[in-house]
């Protein structure tokens, strides 16, 4: 491949536009002497926009944004998501695979994970990406992940993954979404509509 790991990562960083988001709620920070109750920061989630009171580098309180007329109680779970003990906070790799760099199906489920640095994780990922693309071709790489996003296209994991893979080469992706299944592919041939969420016909069907 002509593209290098360095240019691959630079392209991923550029496509994500992370600098537009601003300081993360997870970033460590030192509270100034003037801060007695913390600082309120505006952020967003799949369940709506909110304000977070950050003090001592940690989120202390969550409350809905004032302009939200119908806030959901699910916003109360944001703090729990950030600091949940079950959250994977660092890159983790199976120990046996890290030693041998080879998949061993007999150890699956019995092999513990170990923490690696971000540089190590990116090197491992890029090397495997190169190997699969070279040995098996683009049909062996699937970029059809579907998942919820946080606030708009900026936090769409699927879009960022497909952009990153597009910088490297071709891959297999999915068509449609999990809400409509094959409807987005089939209905244009049945009703003539190219958008499954649009009104399929103007005929009176009552």
Structure tokens at 103: 């998949």
According to the model, what pLDDT value does residue 54 have? 94
According to the model, what pLDDT value does residue 69 have? 92
According to the model, what pLDDT value does residue 41 have? 93
SS3 93: strand
Q: Are strands 58-64 and 92-94 parallel, antiparallel or unpaired?
A: unpaired
Q: Is the pLDDT of residue 106 over 70?
A: yes
* CA-to-CA separations, 159 to 8, 39, 140, 148, 173, in angstroms, rounded: 16, 32, 19, 11, 11
User: Which is more confidently placed, 62 or 182?
Assistant: 62
pLDDT in tens, 92-103: 998 888 888 877
Report the predicted TM-score, pTM, of the whole model to 2 decimal places.
Answer: 0.61
In this structure, what DSSP letter does residue 178 have? Answer: T
pLDDT in tens, 114-129: 999 999 999 998 999 9
Q: Is the pLDDT of residue 84 over 70?
A: yes
**Burial track 22-34 (b if 16+ CB lie within 10 A, e otherwise):** eeebeeeeeeeee
* CA-to-CA separations, 188 to 10, 174, 180, 192, in angstroms, rounded: 39, 17, 13, 4
Give the residues across from 50 on adjacent strands: 43, 64
Calculate mean pLDDT across residues 176-204. 72
């Amino acid at each position: 491949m002509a593209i290098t790991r360095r240019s691959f990562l630079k392209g991923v960083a550029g496509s994500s536009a992370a600098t537009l988001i601003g300081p993360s709620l997870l970033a460590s920070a030192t509270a100034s002497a003037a801060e007695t109750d913390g600082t309120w920061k505006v952020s967003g989630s799949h369940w709506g926009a909110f304000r977070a009171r950050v003090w001592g580098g940690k989120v202390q309180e969550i409350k809905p944004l004032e302009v939200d007329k119908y806030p959901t109680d699910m916003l109360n779970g944001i703090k729990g998501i950030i600091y949940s003990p079950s959250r994977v906070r660092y890159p983790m790799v199976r120990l046996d695979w890290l030693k041998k760099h080879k998949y061993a199906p007999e150890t699956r489920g019995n092999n513990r994970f170990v923490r690696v640095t971000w540089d190590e994780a990116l090197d491992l990922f890029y090397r495997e990406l190169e190997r699969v693309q070279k040995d098996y071709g683009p049909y062996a790489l699937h970029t059809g992940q579907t998942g919820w996003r946080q606030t708009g296209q900026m936090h769409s994991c699927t879009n960022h993954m497909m952009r990153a893979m597009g910088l490297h080469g071709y891959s297999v992706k999915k068509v449609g979404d999990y809400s409509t299944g094959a409807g987005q592919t089939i209905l244009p041939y049945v009703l003539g509509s190219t958008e499954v969420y649009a009104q399929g016909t103007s005929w009176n069907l009552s």
